[in-house]
A = this chain, B = another copy of it.
Amino acid sequence: MDDMTSPNQTANSPVPDRRRFLKRGVALGAALATASHSASSLAQPAPDDPSKRLGGPIRPYGERSRFEQATREKAIVSKTDEVGGSFTPLGENVGIITPSSLHFEVYRAGVPEIDPRSHRLLIHGMVGRPVVLTMDDIRRLPSVSRILFLECQGNSMTEWQGPRARTVQGTHGATSCSEWTGVSLALLLREVGVQSGARWIVAESADGSGAERSIPLAKAMDDVLVAYAQNGEALRPENGYPVRLIVPGWTGNINIKWLRRIKVVERAYLTRMETVGQPTLMPDGAARQLQFVIEAKSVITFPSGGQRLSGPGAYEVTGLAWTGRGLVRRVEISTDGGASWQDATLQAPILPLAHTRFRLPWRWDGREAVLQSRCTDETGYRQPTLSDLVKVRGVNSLYFNNAIQSWKVATDGSVHNVHV
Interface residues of A (CB under 8 A from B): 1-4, 6, 14-16, 18-23, 26-32, 37-38, 40, 45-68, 70-73, 81-82, 84, 86, 92-103, 105, 107, 109-118, 120, 128, 131-134, 136-137, 140-147, 179-181, 184, 186-191, 193-196, 198, 205-208, 210, 221-223, 225, 229, 231-234, 236-238, 241-242, 258, 260, 310, 314-316, 318, 347, 349, 351, 357, 359, 361
Contact A110–B14 (Cβ < 8 Å): no
When A60-B73, A116-B67, A316-B141 are in contact, do A96 and B51 touch as well, CB less than 8 Å? no
User: In the complex, which residues of chain B have a beta carbon less than 8 angstroms from the beta carbon of A29?
Assistant: 131-133
B contact residues around A131 at 8 Å (CB): 22, 28-29
Q: How far is the CA of A47 from the CA of B118 in the complex (A)?
A: 10
Looking at the assembled complex, report how far the CB atom of A29 sits from the nearest CB atom of chain B, in whole angstroms. 5
Please measure, in the bound complex, the distance between the C-alpha atom of A49 and the C-alpha atom of B118, giving whole angstroms: 10
Chain B residues contacting A351 (CB-CB under 8 Å) are 349
Q: Which of B15, B68, B137 is within 8 Å of A233, CB to CB?
A: B68
With contacts A2-B194, A133-B28 taken as known, whether A64 is within 8 angstroms of B234 at the C-beta atoms is yes
Query: 17 A–B contact pairs at CB < 8 A?
Result: A4-B189, A15-B186, A20-B190, A21-B191, A28-B137, A50-B206, A50-B208, A55-B109, A58-B105, A61-B64, A61-B102, A62-B100, A62-B238, A64-B237, A67-B116, A68-B233, A98-B232
Give chain B nearest CB distance to A52 CB in angstroms: 7
Cα–Cα, bound, A145→B49 (Å): 29
Contact indicator A16/B187 (Cβ below 8 Å): yes
Contact B143–A232 (Cβ < 8 Å): no
Decide if A97 touches B61 in the complex (CB within 8 Å): no
Instruction: Using A96-B145, A179-B97 as known contacts, say yes or no to A133 and B57 having CB atoms under 8 A apart.
Output: no
Q: Considering the chains assembled together, what is the distance between the CA atoms of A210 and B71 in angstroms?
A: 34
Would you call B40 and A117 a contact (CB within 8 A)?
yes
Copies in the complex: 2
**Supplied contacts A55-B82, A67-B115, 8 more A-B pairs, CB within 8 Å:** A1-B198, A28-B132, A51-B112, A55-B207, A64-B236, A68-B234, A93-B233, A95-B179
Q: How far is the CA of A96 from the CA of B178 in the complex (A)?
A: 11
Do B110 and A206 have beta carbons less than 8 Å apart? no
B4 touches A221 (CB 8 A): yes
Which residue in chain B gives the minimum CB-CB distance to A198? B1
Chain B proximity of A261: nearest CB distance (Å): 10
Describe A's contact surface by its main secondary structure.
loop
| Residues of B close to A109: CB separation below 8 A | 54-55
- The 8 A-B pairs at the shortest CB distance, nearest first, are namely A55-B110, A60-B71, A50-B112, A46-B115, A95-B145, A31-B134, A22-B191, A62-B101
Q: B30, B58, B107, B242: which contacts A86 (Cβ < 8 A)?
A: B58
A147 to B26, CA, bound (A): 27
In the complex, what residues of B have CB within 8 A of residue A225's CB?
14
Given contacts A117-B38, A142-B16, contact A193 B2 (CB under 8 A): yes
Minimum distance in angstroms from A220 CB to a CB of chain B = 10
Q: What residues on B are CB-neighbors of A48 within 8 Å?
A: 118
Known contacts A53-B112, A357-B145; A137/B65 CB under 8 A? no
Say yes or no: A141 contacts B45, CB within 8 Å.
no
Of chain B, the residue at the smallest CB distance from A217 is B4
Contact, CB under 8 Å: B190 / A95: no
- Write the nearest CB–CB distance from A230 to chain B, whole angstroms: 9
A31-B62 contact given A93-B233, A142-B359, A232-B98, CB 8 Å threshold: no
Tell whether, in the assembled complex, residue B142 and residue A95 are in contact, meaning their CB atoms are under 8 Å apart: no
